[in-house]
Amino acid sequence: MSSGRVSVIVIGASHAGLAFSHKLLRLVPNASVTLINPSSAYYFNIAAPRFLAKPESLPPSKYLFTIRDTFDEYPNGSFAFVAGLVTKIDYSTKTVLVRSEKNVGDESSVSSVAFDYVVIASGSTTPATLGQGSLKLPFKATAFEDTQRAIYEAQEKLRAASRVVIGGAGPLGVELAGELAEAPGPKKVITLISKTDSLLEGATETVQRTAGLLLQRKDVDIVRNVTVDRADQNPVTGNWTIVLSTGQTIAADEYISTTGVIPNNEFIPKSFLDRDGWVNVDQYLRVVENETSRDDTYAVGDITCHPYRLLSRVSLQGAIAAANVSASISRKGYLTTYSSESQKKMMVVPVGQSTGTGHLGGWTLWGCLVWFFKGKDFLTYEAPKFLRGKIQ
Ligand SMILES: Cc1cc2nc3c(=O)[nH]c(=O)nc-3n(C[C@H](O)[C@H](O)[C@H](O)COP(=O)(O)OP(=O)(O)OC[C@H]3O[C@@H](n4cnc5c(N)ncnc54)[C@H](O)[C@@H]3O)c2cc1C
């Protein structure tokens, strides 16, 4: 607690890390927040299905933002941004080790930052983001990769493809199929593979049926009750052969996997993780280690063990963790609890520019409402609010 300020390190500057940081700085004037992230840009990945399939639809200024500028409102000394990747949390010295881009492979130049509290907001990635068994599509930011360049390369590959197979018929698979079906240029042949009889697992029956009908109207071929066993890319032609669980194969110019979530947990002590690699937290969002809650470590967002890994969940988690860190600093006890079940279940899925489907709790959303809330610009109008921690 040097210089009278309480030092709080936040690992990960995406939706959850930003929500927490802003909310804490507003609550605790003597906090000193150090936000650590490999990239200095905030990536509003939610709009990826739209701008990857239709590059002209949204300029980069709508989904890539400079992080530092948004912390100008706080007093000097209360905020620092460190561009780097946390490689270890060292509880014996209460520091985190950070590797900066310049120093890749040079262990002697790894820096350390001291903390009183640490908040883990390192999120998740996907097989497609990493290009594992899929065309590499930046659905999330990747450490030390130029996101803008990765987006441009992905846009070019999608532009050139005439036959695209999408494995996985959750919200991302359905959104991407709808966008690609409307992509400019010659019409693409799009195949969507669903492991069950319906699309959008977990949605109401009406929503599932509507998604199928809307995609069929756009000539998307839906293959049901099948999984992808393997997707092999020919190293010479770049074309894909997709092997289905039925033994059938499909040839495609590009294969996109929209399934799988991988925790960004390489630096997190194993004792914090559940068996799938997510961080155990209690109802106050404190990290749980060997069934005991830690007073100095919290986690928010996708990296936690909470089952719904959604943007719609992170602002509340950020607010609750900030309130509890604030209460811990002022020794007022823990005030606020989080329960993922108390957040309303919703799914809003555009199918192309002008329509879509979804539900809010038990209410089915008409296509025009889906367009209004999300389809018109894929929520990019909300991005500046997420960036500044202004979403409640
Ligand atoms: C394409 C796509 C579309 C989506 N659309 C929706 C939607 O419409 N609605 C919805 O509710 N949800 C949606 N989601 C889910 C949503 O993106 C996630 O719930 C959200 O990104 C979680 O935010 P986060 O901050 O917890 O983690 P992430 O967004 O995963 O960010 C984690 C951050 O931590 C950084 N990081 C990782 N490791 C380290 C480290 N060692 N050191 C420092 N920094 C590190 C990463 O670089 C990244 O910046 C979508 C997901 C995808 C992939």
CB atoms within 10 A of CB 80: 15
Q: Is 123 in the pocket of ligand 1 (CB under 6 A)?
A: yes
Q: Is 44 in the pocket of ligand 1 (CB under 6 A)?
A: no
Yes or no: say if 324 and 8 are a contact pair by the CB < 8 Å rule: no
DSSP-derived secondary structure letter, 374: I
Strands 31-37, 6-11: pairing is: parallel
Q: Is 12 in the pocket of ligand 1 (CB under 6 A)?
A: yes
Pocket test for ligand 1, best of 281, 302, 320 (most atoms within 8 A of CB): 302
Tell me the C-alpha distance between 50 and 65, whole Å: 18
Yes or no: say if 204 and 363 are a contact pair by the CB < 8 Å rule: no
Q: Is 14 in the pocket of ligand 1 (CB under 6 A)?
A: yes
Q: Is 19 in the pocket of ligand 1 (CB under 6 A)?
A: no
Q: Is 10 in the pocket of ligand 1 (CB under 6 A)?
A: no
Q: Is 314 in the pocket of ligand 1 (CB under 6 A)?
A: yes
| Closest residue by CA, ligand 1 atom 3 | 46
Q: Tens digit of pLDDT per residue, the chain (392 long)? A: 556 799 999 999 999 999 999 999 999 989 999 999 999 999 999 999 999 999 999 999 999 999 999 999 999 999 999 999 999 999 999 999 999 976 566 665 689 999 999 999 999 999 999 999 999 999 999 999 999 999 999 999 999 999 999 999 999 999 999 999 999 999 999 999 999 999 999 999 999 999 999 999 999 999 999 999 999 999 999 999 999 999 999 999 999 999 999 999 999 999 999 999 999 999 999 999 999 999 999 999 999 999 999 999 999 999 999 999 999 999 887 789 999 888 888 999 999 999 999 999 889 999 999 999 999 999 999 999 999 999 98
Yes or no: say if 23 and 119 are a contact pair by the CB < 8 Å rule: no
Q: CATH 3.50.50.60 in the chain: give the residue spans.
A: 2-38+84-125+262-342, 127-260
Q: Is 382 in the pocket of ligand 1 (CB under 6 A)?
A: no
Question: Domain spanning 127-260 has what CATH number?
Answer: 3.50.50.60
Q: Tell me, what's the pLDDT at 109?
A: 67
Q: Tell me, what's the pLDDT at 332?
A: 83
Yes or no: say if 57 and 155 are a contact pair by the CB < 8 Å rule: no
* Nearest to 362, CA basis, from 375, 346, 380: 346
Q: Is 302 in the pocket of ligand 1 (CB under 6 A)?
A: yes
Tokens of 164: 């695209």
What DSSP letter does each residue of 182-219 carry, written as one string? T-SSSPPEEEEE-SSSSSSTTS-HHHHHHHHHHHHHTT
Measured in Å, residue 274 CA sits from the centre of ligand 1 at 19
| Closest residue by CA, ligand 1 atom 29 | 14
Pocket test for ligand 1, best of 15, 35, 380 (most atoms within 8 A of CB): 15
Q: Is 143 in the pocket of ligand 1 (CB under 6 A)?
A: yes
Measured in Å, residue 199 CA sits from the centre of ligand 1 at 23
* Nearest to 232, CA basis, from 132, 129, 127: 132
| Closest residue by CA, ligand 1 atom 28 | 123
Q: Is 310 in the pocket of ligand 1 (CB under 6 A)?
A: yes
Tokens of 342: 């108390």
3-state SS of the chain: helix, strand, coil percent to 5? 30, 25, 40
Q: Is 118 in the pocket of ligand 1 (CB under 6 A)?
A: no
Whole-number Cα distances in Å, 282 to 53, 279, 299, 300, 306? 40, 10, 10, 11, 10
Environment class of 234 (CB within 10 Å of its CB; exposed 0-12, middle 13-18, buried 19+): exposed
Give the H/E segment covering residue 289. Answer: strand 286-289
Task: Please give the class, per CATH, of domain 2-38+84-125+262-342.
Answer: alpha beta
Yes or no: say if 127 and 262 are a contact pair by the CB < 8 Å rule: yes
* Nearest to 378, CA basis, from 67, 52, 131, 66: 52
* Residue given tokens 């032609």 in the structure block: 237
Yes or no: say if 324 and 145 are a contact pair by the CB < 8 Å rule: no
Pocket test for ligand 1, best of 99, 140, 298, 357 (most atoms within 8 A of CB): 140
Tell me the C-alpha distance between 87 and 77, whole Å: 25
What DSSP letter does each residue of 209-241 carry, written as one string? HHHHHHHHHTT-EEE-S--EEEEEE-TTT--EE
| Closest residue by CA, ligand 1 atom 49 | 14
Yes or no: say if 383 and 44 are a contact pair by the CB < 8 Å rule: yes
| Closest residue by CA, ligand 1 atom 35 | 12
Q: Tell me, what's the pLDDT at 108?
A: 57
Q: Per-residue b/e over 141-180, b at no fewer than 16 CB within 10 Å?
A: bbbeeebeebbeebbebbeebebbbbbbbbbbbbbbbbbb
Measured in Å, residue 125 CA sits from the centre of ligand 1 at 7
